[in-house]
Amino acid sequence: MSKVVVTALSSVREKTGWSFRELDCQGATVADLLRLVPTKDGGTLFDLLIDGDQMQRGYVVFVNGQRVEAPDKRLQEGDKVVAMEVLRIVAGGQAVS
């Protein structure tokens, strides 16, 4: 079994009800992993984070610190996956995204 560490931040944490999990996902892609993670409303992180074959606007997924552009990226044992809403930083009264 391949285990990966999944961290859910910001609104993604609110949707899952947790912030940290270790999951088994042998030979899985990011999309496969996201289909395994249920949300509190009965959906999955895949439903929340994926739009067609790309990441949903307003959300980002990192694998080992690298931004995932397409959810077909293969995962390996020990990978660290972070899912979060895109943060907007306010500086000098202006929002920067």
Q: What is the pLDDT of residues 41-85, one digit of tens each?
A: 999 999 999 988 888 888 999 999 999 988 999 999 999 999 999
Taking the C-alpha atoms of residue 89 and residue 54, their distance in angstroms, rounded to an integer, is 24
Residue 96 confidence (pLDDT) above 90: no
The CA angle 65-68-73, to the nearest 5 degrees, is: 110
pTM, to two decimals: 0.84
Place of tokens 């285990």: 3
Domains and their CATH numbers in the chain: 3-96 (3.10.20.30)
Rounded to a whole number of angstroms, the distance between the first and last alpha carbons of the chain is: 38
Pairing of strands 50-51, 59-63: unpaired
Taking the C-alpha atoms of residue 83 and residue 55, their distance in angstroms, rounded to an integer, is 11
Q: What is the pLDDT of residues 56-66, one digit of tens each?
A: 888 999 999 99
Place of tokens 């289909």: 35
Cβ contact 83:20 at 8 Å: no
76: tokens are 């390996």
